Structures are given as structure tokens and as C-alpha cells.
Amino acid sequence: MATEQSMTVKAPWSAPSLPPTVLWFGVVALAWAALAHFQRETVAILWQWMPHLAAGLRMNVLISALAIAIGTLLGAIVGALELSHRRWVGAPARGYVQVFRNTPVLVLIFFTTYVFPFEIRLGSLYLAFPDWIKATLGLALPASAHVAEIFRGAILSITSAQWDASASLGFGRSQTLRWVILPQCVKRVLPPWMNLYAMITMSTTLASLVGVTELLESAKNASNTVNRTDFTVLIYLAVLTLFFLYCYPITRFTTRLERKYAFH
């Protein structure tokens, strides 16, 4: 196929295939079965702490979902701007990407936490600006820079013949982007985007360092309160498992989307 000649970006870090995941699932399940048998009492304590951990996990889910949503929206726009023929549009966009890709995420989280006020005044209305939202922004900024690069790469991987064909039909540049180029990018963008989502999910634990009570912080609280080594080991194993249970469906969903957009 003519269009197949354009390179298909094969990411080395594309979504994991099924067999290893199933294996990993089995190992985790087995470990928990063994623990429930040999460490009945500690597991019972863990069970009591479950609502506390679940509340923590909810915060991770919230932060990561919001950060990836903001990051994707912002990143798609910045990525398109990076390719603008107008220098005063392209250069700032590329600068934005360089700055936020090359700054440690933790620094950005500290930055957004201490730079933004704790509340925003809208006329006579005071809106609270809680730490978890600031941490979300701290994650969304580097995410948007990564998404911009992912989109830019995907857009550049579409042959110029598609631009020519579209222009010849009377499409302008932004219309070509909207109707012809970006829809073809979806498939190429999914694997690295998925990888980014997983990375952001992991990074949500950094929010604990600016006082957000998320899963890791909840686990630390529990561990300090119970103050037993076997419980500490167990609760961090639980944290691991919960993160896995959150990330795994994302992987599966992305694989499904990839198949849906496999049009050639």
C-alpha cells in the first residue's frame, strides 16, 4: 500500500502483550494467597486499613486522570503549534516543550505548589486552590510537553503526499490537520501516550511530598500507626498491587483502541 511506505513508528516501550501480563497477574495472586494463609493475622489488620488505602488511591486516580487530560489537550495544541510555519508561533511552542521536558517532575510539583496561592479571588468570591490541584498542574505541565513531542513526531511521520492531496482538495493547513493528519496519528500516538499515562500514574506518589494524602502517604500513615515490620512489608505490597490494578486496565484499553484504529 502506498501509505504503508510511511514509517510506522514502532515504540520499544509499546503496551505489554498479553502472556507476560497474565504471568505477572498469576504471581501477584499467588503471593496474596500464600500471605493470606501464613500471615492470617497481619492480613486481617491490612483489611481494616483498606478503606484508608482506597481513599488514598482515589486521590492518585483523580490526579493522574486530570493531569493526563489537561496534558493531552494542552500537548496536542502545543504540538501542532510547534509545526507552525510562523516563527513567532513555532519558537515559543518549542521553547515550552524544551523547558518542561527537561525539568525534574518533583521540581515542577514543588514549583506549582509554592508559586500558586492557596485560594483564588474572583471578585468577592474566594475559590480554594488545594494542594492536590497544584500537584496535578505540576504533573500536567511535563505531560503536555511529552504529549506535544509525541504528536509532533506522529504528524511528521505522515507523508507529505497526504498534505498535498488534502491541499489540492481545498483544505487549509489547520483543516488538513484536523480532518486528515490527526486522525491518522491516533494509532501512532496511542502506545507512547499509554506509556506516559503509566508514568504519570507512578509520579502521582510524588504529591505526598507536598502534603497530598494519596496512596503512598496513606500507607506510610498506616505503617507508622501499626508499627510492625511484617505489616509494613505487607502494606507496601498492597500499594504495589493497587497500582497494578489501576494501570492494567489502561493497558488493555489502549490495546483495544490500537486495534480499532488499525485501518490498514
Q: Which set of grid coordinates corresponds to residue 135?
A: 500537584
**Beta carbons within 8 Å of 139's beta carbon, 6+ residues apart:** 63, 64, 67, 71, 105, 108, 109, 200, 203, 204, 206, 207
- In angstroms, give the least distance from the CB of 67 to other proteins: 29
If one asks whether residue 103 binds other proteins (CB under 8 A), the answer comes out as no
Residues counted in the chain? 264
Which of 20, 123, 170, 249 touches other proteins (CB under 8 A)?
170
Measured from the CB atom, the residue of 64 and 184 that comes closer to other proteins is: 184
Task: Report the residue from 26, 51, 104, 172 that binds other proteins according to the rule CB under 8 A.
Answer: 172
40-82 vs 87-101: helix axis angle to the nearest 10?
Answer: 160
Taking the least distance from each CB to other proteins, the nearer of 3 and 48 is 3
Of residues 129 through 168, those in contact with other proteins by CB under 8 A are 161-162, 164-168
Strands 119-122, 125-128: pairing is antiparallel
259 binds other proteins (CB under 8 A): no
Q: Is 263 in the site for other proteins (CB under 8 A)?
A: yes
| List of residues 6+ apart from 207 with CB closer than 8 A | 59, 63, 109, 131, 132, 135, 139, 214
CB 57 within 8 A of CB 246: yes
Asked whether position 179 contacts other proteins by CB under 8 A, the answer is: yes
- The distance between the two most distant Cα atoms of the chain, rounded to a whole number of Å, is 73
Among 110, 111, 171, 236, binds other proteins (CB under 8 A): 171
Residue 52 touches other proteins, criterion: CB under 8 A: no
d(CA 158, CA 176): 12
41 vs 164 by CB, closer to other proteins:
164
* Residue 82 · residue 93 · CB < 8 Å: yes
Site string for other proteins, 181-200 (x = CB under 8 A): --xx----------------
Least CB distance from residue 6 to other proteins, whole Å? 9
Select 3 or 17, whichever has its Cβ closest to other proteins. 3
Which residues in this chain contact other proteins in the complex, by CB under 8 A?
1-4, 161-162, 164-173, 175, 179-180, 183-184, 261, 263-264
